[in-house]
Amino acid sequence: MSSSAVSVRLDQATRFYQASIGKKVVMAVTGVILFGYVLGHLLGNLQIYLGPEQINRYAEFLHSKPALLWVVRLLLLTAVVLHVTASIQLWILKQRARPVGYAKEENVPAGYASRTMLWSGPIIAAFVVFHILHLTTGSVNLPYRELDVYNNVVNGFRIPAVSIAYIVAMVLLCMHLYHGVWSMFQTVGFSHPRYTPLLKRLAAGFAIFIAAGNISIPVSVMAGLIR
């Protein structure tokens, strides 16, 4: 492909992204990547119910593939940056188009969840940073043993404040996922009176499954079911 053709393609991509639909598409695509990771991460974490050998063996397997692990990490970091950037830019466009709020707020499809997207996102991002320091690097979880995921999780969630913070973050994630999945369906054109109820239930079911699965772990630790 010639340099002129590449320049034209880049110009078209730039103009597409500058429109609100372009930013929504970026949010939808990066959202799929992040949703996939959240689901995979949960399925990995739930192995803690199979005992320390299973989840520690899973951790050892992941760390035995450093190249693949870093490719996934870089992909996730790129998706997060693009997702957050597009969401902020969309919010700015919305504020410029309607600088004065409605006298009566609309009853939007996702209700309260949609109205908390802007601030729940940064809170979840801050929690992810803490989560990495807590259970990945062990910087704020002592005693910490490398690749001993089972004991690190148990020791970490024995602290009530940590477990409560984790549960609150998962509730926010549930609302964020619900509105995010629903918005993704709308962005790609799956919006029809016949399918809308089903799509809403799918979005809600996915969000609740992710949150409930993650919340079950600190609850189980505090209840003594995992020890």
Q: Model confidence over 191-224: pLDDT tens digits?
A: 667 777 888 888 889 999 999 999 999 999 999 9
Sorted by where each begins, the domain ranges of the chain are: 20-222
Query: How distant, in Å, are the alpha carbons of 33, 55, 146 from that of 30?
Result: 5, 28, 31
pLDDT, position 112: 47
Token duo for residue 22: 């372009």
CATH match of 20-222 with 1.20.1300: yes
CA atoms within 13 A on the CB side of 193: 0
CA distance 98 to 106: 13
pLDDT band at 102 (very low <50, low <70, confident <90, very high): very low
**SS3 for 81?**
helix
Token duo for residue 110: 């996702």
Q: Name the more confident of 134 and 36.
A: 36
Position of tokens 């110009």? 11
